[in-house]
Amino acid sequence: MLRAARRSIGRVAAPSAPNARVPRRPPTPTPSEAPLVTATPVTSPIYLALTAPFKVVTGDPSHKSNLVVLNPTVFNHPIRRDILHLCVTHYRDSLRQGSANTKTRGERAGTGRKPYKQKGGGIARAGDLRSPIQHGGGVAFGPKPRDFSTKLPRKVVQMGMRVALSLKVKDSLLGVMSSMDWPNGKTKHLSQKIDELGLRRTLFVTGEEPSVLLERAMRNIPLTKLTRLDQLTVYELLQWSRVVMDTKAIDIIEHTLAKDVPSRALTRT
């Protein structure tokens, strides 16, 4: 009986031996380990409804009389989070002023003579009163004016623009207008129209110089902004929850960012 008990104890304690192998569970993937590239087709064109100004509705391809066709190489690009991170970091680095400035011991005002004798005073020796260890002295390793901006290749910035636009199309947060004309310069009237259409928190992008009345009316509307296409950045596209563009801006974007693709129906209907 004692021998059988020893055998059972040995079988139970065997896995805890120093050289025993314990089966491990496969590691669970974390969200950070998810692939950065989402393989999406770029061959089929994208259809969006072309509606009246300040009224954006997603269109149905069956009604081709009122549709705008988007180039898939621009608006259906694979989602690259790493490219978006590079573009956002590049833009935020350019916003840093870099104007912090401190004075070194050579820039502090004061005499250069020795404050007291070298030895016999019972205190540490000192050469002058502008030393960093003295009260009112200079700063040893303080900040100096510098340029924090970083460089990023032009093609990476263009890819970031494609990815940001494709992300808006994928999330159904991109709208297209025929034009952005507003006949009244009163902020109250345009604000009521935007509230009626549910276009708060929207960035309006135009490919031409906006009219004075539209710019004046939208200037003081909260949670709404009007900008030109040449001032648009990847950071601004990601910052706003909804983006509305006119057809002129779409034409310029496709002319600038489109890639060579096989001939197919990419013309506007």
pLDDT 10s digits, 111-144: 889 999 999 999 999 999 999 999 999 999 999 9
Give the C-alpha separation, 73 to 61, whole Å. 19
Give the C-alpha separation, 218 to 189, whole Å. 10
Question: Do 173 and 84 share a domain, yes or no?
Answer: yes
Question: Do 52 and 76 share a domain, yes or no?
Answer: yes
> Band of the pLDDT at 199, cuts 50, 70, 90?
confident
Question: Do 108 and 233 share a domain, yes or no?
Answer: no
Top-confidence range, 7-21, 36-50, 85-99, 213-227 = 85-99
Q: Which residue range is the domain that position 135 belongs to? A: 99-147
pLDDT of 40 reads 46
> Band of the pLDDT at 51, cuts 50, 70, 90?
very low
CATH number, domain with residue 201: 3.40.1370.10
Q: Tell whether 36 is covered by a domain.
A: no
Q: Tell whether 20 is covered by a domain.
A: no
Query: What is the pLDDT averaged over residues 183-200?
Result: 87
Number of domains comprising the chain: 2
Q: Is the pTM of this model over 0.75?
A: no
* Res 55 pLDDT > 60: no
pLDDT of 153 reads 96
Question: Do 197 and 69 share a domain, yes or no?
Answer: yes
> Band of the pLDDT at 183, cuts 50, 70, 90?
confident
Q: Tell whether 268 is covered by a domain.
A: no
Q: Write the single-letter amino acid at 265.
A: A
**Contact of 201 with 242, CB cutoff 8 Å:** yes
Question: Do 170 and 219 share a domain, yes or no?
Answer: yes
CA dihedral angle for residue 195, residue 61, residue 208, residue 43, rounded to 10 degrees: 130
* Res 202 pLDDT > 60: yes
pLDDT of 179 reads 82
Share of the chain above pLDDT 90, in %: 57
Last residue of a domain, one of 147, 171, 187: 147
Query: What is the pLDDT averaged over residues 242-263?
Result: 85
* Res 262 pLDDT > 50: no
Q: Write the single-letter amino acid at 255.
A: H
Give the C-alpha separation, 193 to 195, whole Å. 5
* Res 37 pLDDT > 60: no
User: For the purposes of burial, counting CB atoms within 10 Å of the CB of 79, is it exposed (0-12), middle (13-18) or buried (19 or more)?
Assistant: middle
**Contact of 214 with 181, CB cutoff 8 Å:** yes
Q: Tell whether 31 is covered by a domain.
A: no
* Res 93 pLDDT > 70: yes
The label of the residue with tokens 């929207």 reads: 202
| Structure-block tokens of residue 55 | 């009224």
Q: What b/e readout covers 57-70, taking b as 16+ CB neighbours within 10 angstroms?
A: eebeeeeeeebbbb
pLDDT of 2 reads 52
To the nearest whole number, what is the mean pLDDT of the chain?
Answer: 80
> Band of the pLDDT at 269, cuts 50, 70, 90?
very low
> Band of the pLDDT at 248, cuts 50, 70, 90?
very high
* Res 12 pLDDT > 50: no
Question: Do 104 and 218 share a domain, yes or no?
Answer: no
* Res 168 pLDDT > 50: yes
Query: What is the pLDDT averaged over residues 80-93?
Result: 96
Q: Kindly write down the DSSP assignment for every residue of 245-256, as one continuous string.
A: EEHHHHHHHHHH
Question: Do 188 and 64 share a domain, yes or no?
Answer: yes
Last residue of a domain, one of 124, 147, 170: 147
